[in-house]
Amino acid sequence: MPSCHQRNEALADGLRVLPGSIPYTNRRRLNVGGRFDGMTLGEFLAARHPHIDPAVWRASLGGGRLEIDGRTVHSLDQPVRGGNRLVHVIESQVEPDVCAELRFLHEDEDVVVLDKPAPLPVHPSGRFNKNTVLGLLASVFEDLQVFPVHRLDADTTGVLVLAKHPAAARQLGAQFEARTVGKRYLARVHGCSPRRFEGTAPIARGPDSSGKRTTLCGAPALTRFWTLHPGNQSLVAAWPRSGRTNQIRLHLRDAGHPIVGDRAYGPNADDEFLSGGPLCLHADSIRLRHPATDRSVRFDAPRPAWASELLG
């Protein structure tokens, strides 16, 4: 098995040109869930992608670039059925640039642990297909198949755990589902935060029309915070006890201490708030039971400069 050093050298050499930066034909797949059964294609697309202008779908329809179960679609009024496989053909696609400074922290026969940079999404989504963690790894290592077992936002840096085979993925996934995995994050926030505090607001299960999550109602969530360095901008450690999307960002915003660089949930976010830097949220460490040995293991990522300068 290659060492982490060898893997990192191969990444640096193989990602001089990002795979998504070379124009290609992207056949984006989207399965029709049962709850959409009986809708028209236009209604389904509007429900699944409310942020996309309907003119985009009409243009794709006119160009013969929408397919259902392998057949070209000719009308947005065509009904869809649960289980249909929709393909949106995007020609000459070039994806936005990402930070490709991905690094291996650990690898064995069952697990890969990475230090994820930002911005870099983990899974294909939206405008990103090849310029993702999975896409970058696949473009460099033909012999390496991995299965993500938890999420990190595209703009969040730090420890990311992936399984190397389905059995390990199931075992690790069960730990995350049971909330027995210990996760610690670091965040640089606006304002002088209290020594200890908690976020308990429920998190919406899905995004609103703007693509953001809310805390008006939703799934139960709990995050515990401890201020490591108070000041006009404070450094806090966060321990999420549940795994809701954008949980730490929302709980810090609701506490009056939004994360520095948070363009979605920061101050004046609706007015395109700019902090002058990246999202200051970092997955600092993770503790879990190894899927092969059942021994407790901990993995740590190097801390970013914005955290180190406050910690001294």
Mean pLDDT by 10 residues, the chain (312 residues): 95 95 89 91 89 89 93 93 92 92 97 97 88 96 94 95 97 95 97 96 84 86 96 96 92 95 75 58 98 97 93 76
- Cβ partners under 8 Å of residue 212, min gap 6: 246, 264, 265
Claim to verify: residue 8 and residue 155 sit in the same structural domain: yes
Claim to verify: residue 217 and residue 308 sit in the same structural domain: yes
Q: Which of 117, 149, 178 is the last residue of a domain?
A: 178
Beta strand 157-163 pairing with 281-289 = parallel
Cβ(28)–Cβ(88) below 8 Å: yes
Claim to verify: residue 172 and residue 186 sit in the same structural domain: no
Domain CATH code at residue 246 = 3.30.2350.10
Catalytic residue numbers read: 153
Claim to verify: residue 210 and residue 306 sit in the same structural domain: yes
Among 154, 153, 147, which residue's Cα sits nearest to residue 172? 147
Domain CATH code at residue 53 = 3.10.290.10
Claim to verify: residue 110 and residue 89 sit in the same structural domain: no
User: What whole-number distance in Å separates Cα of residue 180 and Cα of residue 174?
Assistant: 9
Domain count, the chain: 3
pLDDT at residue 173 in the model: 95
pLDDT at residue 210 in the model: 75
Which residue range forms the structural domain that includes residue 57? 24-93
pLDDT at residue 277 in the model: 65
User: What whole-number distance in Å separates Cα of residue 260 and Cα of residue 234?
Assistant: 10
Claim to verify: residue 150 and residue 297 sit in the same structural domain: no
Q: Which of 35, 58, 93 is the last residue of a domain?
A: 93
pLDDT at residue 268 in the model: 56
Instruction: Please count the other Cβ atoms lying within 10 Å of the Cβ belonging to residue 11.
Output: 20
Claim to verify: residue 87 and residue 100 sit in the same structural domain: no
- Cβ partners under 8 Å of residue 80, min gap 6: 32, 36, 37, 38, 39, 40, 41, 44, 68, 86
User: How many Cα atoms occupy the beta-carbon half-sphere of 141 within 13 Å?
Assistant: 21
pLDDT at residue 272 in the model: 39
Claim to verify: residue 254 and residue 135 sit in the same structural domain: no
